[in-house]
């Protein structure tokens, strides 16, 4: 038995049209902090060799966030969430989740940061997600991706 993915074109933040399928879609329950009314998104790779992913709003083409799996640069990253929070998107363990951290890239890209305090947690099976606040105090809102232990990289 074969299944066909529903394909469609969406307009992105930069005016480019991108083809997506159902596997790109995710519903972020209650939206993102500061953007609570926007719940429908597509997860779009930044490029073939890039670790970054775009979280593109389907409701507002100008709304998109650059994200990354935080375990790429913080291998021991395990955010802390209550069972209640995880069950709100039908997860029983954080190990089942896809994690995305929102990235901020300033003029000097060496100073880019990722929000490890409030990652986007996605259940890959049902495509439901939620931005959750980790109860771990060691996870920072501004974790420097290219620095040592999340600190700013040394200036030369």
Which residues of the chain carry a pLDDT beneath 50?
1-2
> Structure tokens of 90?
């039908």
The domains located in the chain, with CATH, are 8-147 (2.30.290.10)
Q: What is the pLDDT of residue 14?
A: 79
Q: What is the pLDDT of residue 4?
A: 58
Q: What is the pLDDT of residue 31?
A: 97
89 conformational bin, left if phi > 0, alpha if psi -120 to 50, beta if neither: alpha
Single pTM value for the model: 0.90
Q: What is the pLDDT of residue 3?
A: 52
C-alpha torsion angle, residues 66, 41, 50, 91 (rounded to 10): 100
Q: What is the DSSP letter of 111?
A: G
Q: What is the pLDDT of residue 90?
A: 97
């Amino acid at each position: 038995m074969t299944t066909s993915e529903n394909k469609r074109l969406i307009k992105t933040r930069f005016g480019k049209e991108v083809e997506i399928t159902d596997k790109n879609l995710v519903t972020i329950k209650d939206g993102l902090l500061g953007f609570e009314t926007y719940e429908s998104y597509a997860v779009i790779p930044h490029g073939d060799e890039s670790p970054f992913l775009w979280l593109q709003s389907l409701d507002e083409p100008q709304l998109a966030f650059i994200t990354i799996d935080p375990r790429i640069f913080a291998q021991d990253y395990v955010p802390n969430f209550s069972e209640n929070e995880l069950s709100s998107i039908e997860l029983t363990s954080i190990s089942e989740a896809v994690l995305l951290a929102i990235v901020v890239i300033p003029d000097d890209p060496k100073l880019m940061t990722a929000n490890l305090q409030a990652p986007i947690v996605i259940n890959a099976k049902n495509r439901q997600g939620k931005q959750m606040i980790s109860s771990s105090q060691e996870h920072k809102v501004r974790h420097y991706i290219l620095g040592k232990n999340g600190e700013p990289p040394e200036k030369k």
